[in-house]
Amino acid sequence: MEDAPRRPGPVPLVAMLAVLVVALGLLPTVPPASAEPEAAPAQGEVPRARAPWTPYTGITFNWPVGTRAERTVIARRINAAIDHTPRGETIRIATYNLGLKASADKLIRAHRRGVRVQVIVNANLVGRLEARVQRAIGKNPARTSFLYVCKRACRNSSPGGNMHLKIYSFTRTGTARRLFISSSANLAGPAVHGQWNDSVAIAGNDGLFTAWWKLFDEMRRDRAASPRRVTFSSEEVTAFFQRPGTSTPGRTTVGRAVTDAPYRRLQDVGCRAPEGFGNAAGRSVITVNMRAWYARRGERLAGLLARKKGNGCQVRVIGSLMSKEVVRILKRAGIPVRSADWDWGPRTSTSDPDKIVYGPSCYSHLKYVTVNGSYRGRGDRLVWTGSENWSPPGLGSDEVTLELHGALVTREYDRMFMRMWKSPRATHRVGPEPTSRPCA
């Protein structure tokens, strides 16, 4: 005979009060048993396998006036890709300088576990860290692992150019094959604690990866290459490597303005936007977030934007190393301009470690343009981003500009622009040279 169900007895007053306190949110609830750490597997039991690591792909911005995670996000994602590159694979990196000890350590460890590690840097800021990596992996660019220093631009022997790329590539890392990361950020300290930067990570685009692989092979030979301009295009991305033109110290040869690639691209922006594009008034919208923008080349680009503004385009600009003449051209045209440069004072030059210059230590290092409106006669939303500044050295340096189309990517870059525009810790009115230190 089954036992009859027991009737519940009276609930003690203390228990009733405890339930009421929890229900009102006055005390935290006790986590469920499933939230407790799992017990170690019994003897002979197979432990649960970890999920395979997959690198982040897409767009990343850092925020140097934010938390440590916000400041370091780009470097951490590159470092994680280094950590997850297995034996027998290849890492190829081109960075203006290598100044992050954590990154250098990870590259050395990758080499020791059997990864082919190939790094190219520019000669301007070579220091003890680069020398340490060279001692560990070698410096001969004909070998399978090396850190090589280009004295000028690797693919252009004319004076005035630099190896200015910031590309991080992996034949395989985690679950991804052929990961290509183009960034405005070098693997250096200022990119983490003193600069606003972006990165674009693309995996599995065989054509893009192959084009970069061939270009890298030309770079490590460190001699003039022809053709200097290499372009790869797919539905996902167009990559413009290198620029025509020359740059020499004290003299800039620009040639006709139409030969300057950024100028030619902006020429193709129409100011009457098709339906569904542009602003509410049916006008194309152009935003520019540019680090270095000066000299005759910079003035020509500023003049073109001024004419676009006169033709009805909506134009807005953030800069951090703009000449007074560039600012004058933009403001005279009625283009709103803000500066992203802080902590002004004596500092080490980014092109010569033995030289002290007067300038900002916290600034925007971004180099991008967004367009929402008419481009080449049709409605489009697109972004140009990469390593190239609007200044003379960009004409003779190893550079890349990515062209990305679509509402989502354009919205991400426009959102970053407006975040900086509205933040009093990111931008200020043009003219002052703030000595405050908002960056970490």
Residue 347 has what pLDDT? Answer: 87
- Considering the domain 58-226 in this protein, what is its CATH number? 3.30.870.10
Contact 431, 341 (CB under 8 A): no
The yes-or-no verdict on residue 350 having pLDDT over 50 is yes
pLDDT, tens digit (0-9, with 9 covering 90-100), for 382-408: 999 999 999 999 988 999 999 999 999
The predicted model gives 65-89 an average pLDDT of 98
Grade residue 48 by pLDDT with cuts at 50, 70 and 90.
low
What's the mean pLDDT in 193-222?
A: 97
**Residue 436 phi/psi, 5° resolution?**
-65, 160
Domain ranges of the chain: 58-226, 239-429
Question: What pairing do the DSSP bridges indicate for beta strands 230-233 and 238-241?
Answer: antiparallel
Look at 84-93, 260-269, 352-361, 414-423 and tell me which has the smallest mean pLDDT.
352-361
When the pLDDT of each residue in the chain is averaged and rounded to a whole number, the result is 88
CA-closest candidate to residue 150, choices 104, 96, 98:
96
Q: How does pLDDT run across 32-42, given as a tens digit for each residue?
A: 333 333 444 45
- Bridge-partner residues for 170, per DSSP? 91, 179
Contact status, residue 203 vs residue 176, Cβ threshold 8 Å: yes
- DSSP secondary structure code for residue 402 in this structure: E
pLDDT for residue 242 = 77
pLDDT of residue 316: 98
The pLDDT assigned to 440 comes to 74
Comparing CA positions, the residue from 82, 147, 141 lying closest to residue 120 is 147
Question: Is the pLDDT assigned to residue 283 strictly greater than 60?
Answer: yes
Of 27 and 372, the one with more pLDDT: 372
Contacts of 325 (CB under 8 A, 6+ apart): 294, 299, 302
Residue 244's pLDDT is 57
What kind of architecture, by CATH, is found in domain 239-429? 2-Layer Sandwich (3.30)
For residue 197, pLDDT over 70 is answered with yes
| 8 A C-beta contact, residue 317 and residue 293 | no
Q: Provide the token pair at 305.
A: 């934007």
Over pLDDT 70: what percentage of the chain?
Answer: 85
- Cα separation of 114 and 393, whole Å? 37
Fold identical between 58-226 and 239-429? Answer: yes
pTM of the full structure: 0.86
Residues in CB range of 92: below 8 A, 6 or more apart: 118, 119, 167, 169, 212, 213, 216
